[in-house]
Amino acid sequence: MDFLTLFGIYVGVVLTCIFLVCKYSGQQHSPFNKLLNYVTKVIALFTPQWLQRFSQSTLHRLFHQRNNMFIYLHILLEGAVYAEFTFEVFGFCREMDTTLTSLSVPYILLVVKTFLFYRCIKTDPGTVTKSKFSSQLHVYSYDGRLFHPGVSCPTCQLVKPARSKHCRVCDRCVQRFDHHCVWVNNCIGAQNTHYFLLYLFSVCLMAGDIALLTGDMLLHAVLRSGLLRASYIDDYGQQQPAGPLFVVQHLFLTFPRIVFMLGFLVFVFFLLAGYALFHSYLGIVNQTSNEWYKSRGYFCQHCHPAAIADHLCNPVPDHSKRYYYSRGLLRNLGEIFFPPQAVRKKDN
């Protein structure tokens, strides 16, 4: 198997993973979802019925029912990356006189990330219950656009507090519902959004730091080998300088697992960095991803950056504005990291 074939398989696997993640952990009406639905219909014409039923039932169990599959997958991928880094990259970096302080940063980030990951999994996101829903009704006011008073959840048989939503996967209503995350097997809501946001940034830092150390190691390997000054004889007997493609091919065949790991880390970094920045933006304007998606059809005329900046500085809610729950930058962030609690009224 030549280099281009191997690299093509690698790119195909990565793109398939991106496609599946975008379809099943994002919005149901995203462009990726529509494109994948079209591709699925075309493939279905050539696929046996039993295989279609099996794949549909399997995907339903994975993405529409609570299970720990993605938690185990997360731990497996993380273990593979750290095993490769520890047993191969770490030694090469020590030979290049990389300081132990720099090499210890990924392990410190791993401890921090593991704590935040655990909190995302175990923290109740703000479940609306019969014993608490009367007090939860007063945490947020109804905006009259996306949330209306007196609306009941047909499944929970409870009046829905403002900003809440029923999660079909967890089968419960969640206060300040953002989305259901399959990677932590939990909803992201009022009480664990801050853990989720910090978790995203910790994974980005971890992936970015290991990628930088690995890239630095590969760069030193190229410089020490003298490949940049090397040449080779092509199929026509002509001497050619070793260009970037030759260098990449050499690294890919000499350090295949390290290059695969580096490509995976770069993909994870850019994917989660964009996702973390998006959730940071939502936190700044005090909006959930559920509200962001629903409000696009209602408030398109208020999407101008000047309108956004004006409302961030305005602590008074305006029913005509898209960012109804915004109370200013500091108070919005304070609400994320110190979520308001439902207070029961004492009986006289």
Alpha carbon distance 201, 207 (integer Å): 10
**Element housing 14 (H / E):** helix 3-24
Among residues 120, 181, 187, 204, the one annotated as catalytic is: 181
What is the C-alpha separation between 219 and 215, in angstroms, rounded?
Answer: 6
Cβ-based burial of 71 (10 A; exposed 0-12, middle 13-18, buried ≥19): middle
Q: Are 84 and 257 in contact (CB under 8 A)?
A: yes
Token pair recorded at residue 155: 């499944």
CA angle 164, 32, 289 (to 5 degrees): 20
Contact 213, 106 (CB under 8 A): yes
CA distance 228 to 153: 66
Count of C-beta atoms within a 10 Å radius of residue 342: 17
Distance CA 306, CA 152 (A): 37
Tokens found for residue 302: 């208020």
Q: Please list, in sequence order, all residues whose beta carbon lies within 8 angstroms of the beta carbon of residue 218, skipping any fewer than 6 positions away.
A: 251, 255, 258, 259, 262
300 is an active site residue: no
- Residues catalogued as catalytic: 181
